[in-house]
A and B are shown apart, each in its own frame.
Chain A
Amino acid sequence: MSVARKALEMTQAAADVIVQRAGARYEAHRQEIFRSADRMFGGLMIGQWIFAIVIALTFSPYAWQGKIKTVHMHVWIALFLGAAITSLPVALAWFRPGEPLTRHAIAVGQMLWSALLIHLTGGRIETHFHVFGSLALLAFYRDWPVLLTGTVVVATEHLLRGILWPESVYGIPNPEWWRFLEHAFWVVFCISFLILSCRRSQTDMRVMAERGAELEALSENQWRNSSAVDRAAADGRGDR
């Protein structure tokens, strides 16, 4: 085998290893972000559950049927529906962190939490801000399909509840039929920019990984050059 061919093969082999390492670094970085966001949402879900119970106990602890006082349905809803919404995302965040299923389940859960909090506060418009806050938090994943999952859930939930129980979502009994579209429009407005941000962030992460690969390649080149100098010096000493 000629020296030139051997050198070419060595370069190709080294380039393959460096490119593979860059890909692995990029994936490891993404995994770190996914897992960190999963942990954050795991804690947030439990925090929201406690918050919902406190809201229900504070604003509507009892119901009256004549002279009979009972615990208000909202308390049970906060307790049991809250537990149902929280359990799967928290379990997935705990047992399967970093997986696509986990972050999409969390997106669904987080939007259902918005819906439940809106219901528990009687459709207060201010509680709708929870939806936008949640979308911003979901952008922590830097994975834009998660935002689409959240958007589909919140739009569907607003549509169905707007038809079946409008007071629960808008605080009034007879909103316009298209009210959910107005809410959906602002959600789409918000996620359009969040999606752009997620995509840009992913590009930056890839560029960082590639920059690392280029530096590794430079280092490999310098190592080869210094090895060649050492060999030449050794050969020179051998000749004397």
Chain B
Amino acid sequence: MTVETSHERQDGKGYDRVVVPAPEGGTRSLSRKQFENLPLRERVSYLIEGTAQFFLDGKPILPSEAMRT
């Protein structure tokens, strides 16, 4: 999977979608708002484990890029 960096992107928009593990197995896709409304501990756990995949306009981006805005 290729990921985009902010050098390639000019809009500085961050991310608009996140895919995280679902409690019952598999994954679930969340909007940015839904992700930000998750309890902080849950978000932090995904980021530590590296199990959150961030997307902007359907393209995957690095978590470090996603967290910039």
Q: Are A and B a genuine interacting pair, yes or no?
A: yes
A residues within 8 Å of B by Cβ?
Answer: 11-12, 14-16, 18-19, 22, 210-211, 213-218, 220-222, 224-225
- A214 to B45, Cβ gap below 8 A? no
Using A15-B41, A16-B41 as known contacts, say yes or no to A214 and B67 having CB atoms under 8 A apart. Answer: yes
* Smallest beta-carbon distance A23→chain B, Å: 9
Return the contact of B45 from the options A11, A211, A215 (Cβ within 8 A): A11
Instruction: Give B64's nearest chain A residue, CB to CB.
Output: A218
Return the contact of B41 from the options A19, A221, A224, A225 (Cβ within 8 A): A19
B residues within 8 Å of A by Cβ?
Answer: 40-41, 43-45, 47-50, 63-64, 67
Return the contact of A11 from the options B40, B49, B63, B67 (Cβ within 8 A): B49
- B41 to A217, Cβ gap below 8 A? no
- B48 to A11, Cβ gap below 8 A? yes
- A221 to B50, Cβ gap below 8 A? yes
Q: Which residues of B contact A19 (CB under 8 A)?
A: 40-41, 44
* Smallest beta-carbon distance A94→chain B, Å: 36
Cα–Cα, bound, A187→B50 (Å): 51
Q: Which residues of A contact B64 (CB under 8 A)?
A: 218, 222
Listed from nearest, the 4 A-B pairs whose CB atoms lie closest are: A217-B47, A217-B44, A15-B44, A15-B45
- B47 to A221, Cβ gap below 8 A? yes
Return the contact of B48 from the options A15, A22, A210 (Cβ within 8 A): A15
Q: Which residues of A contact B67 (CB under 8 A)?
A: 211, 214-215, 218
Cα–Cα, bound, A72→B61 (Å): 75
- B44 to A213, Cβ gap below 8 A? yes
- A218 to B63, Cβ gap below 8 A? yes
Cα–Cα, bound, A12→B48 (Å): 9
Instruction: Give B49's nearest chain A residue, CB to CB.
Output: A11
Cα–Cα, bound, A16→B41 (Å): 7
Q: Which residues of B contact A213 (CB under 8 A)?
A: 40, 44
Cα–Cα, bound, A11→B29 (Å): 22
Q: Which residues of A contact B44 (CB under 8 A)?
A: 15, 18-19, 213-214, 216-217
Q: Which residues of B contact A215 (CB under 8 A)?
A: 67
Q: Which residues of B contact A12 (CB under 8 A)?
A: 45
Instruction: Give A7's nearest chain B residue, CB to CB.
Output: B49
* Smallest beta-carbon distance A167→chain B, Å: 56
Cα–Cα, bound, A95→B34 (Å): 44
Instruction: Give B39's nearest chain A residue, CB to CB.
Output: A19
* Smallest beta-carbon distance B15→chain A, Å: 12
Instruction: Give B47's nearest chain A residue, CB to CB.
Output: A217
A-B contact pairs, 26 of them (CB 8 A): A11-B48, A11-B49, A12-B45, A14-B48, A15-B41, A15-B44, A15-B45, A15-B48, A16-B41, A18-B44, A18-B48, A19-B40, A22-B40, A214-B43, A214-B44, A214-B67, A215-B67, A216-B44, A218-B47, A218-B63, A218-B67, A221-B47, A221-B48, A221-B49, A222-B64, A225-B50
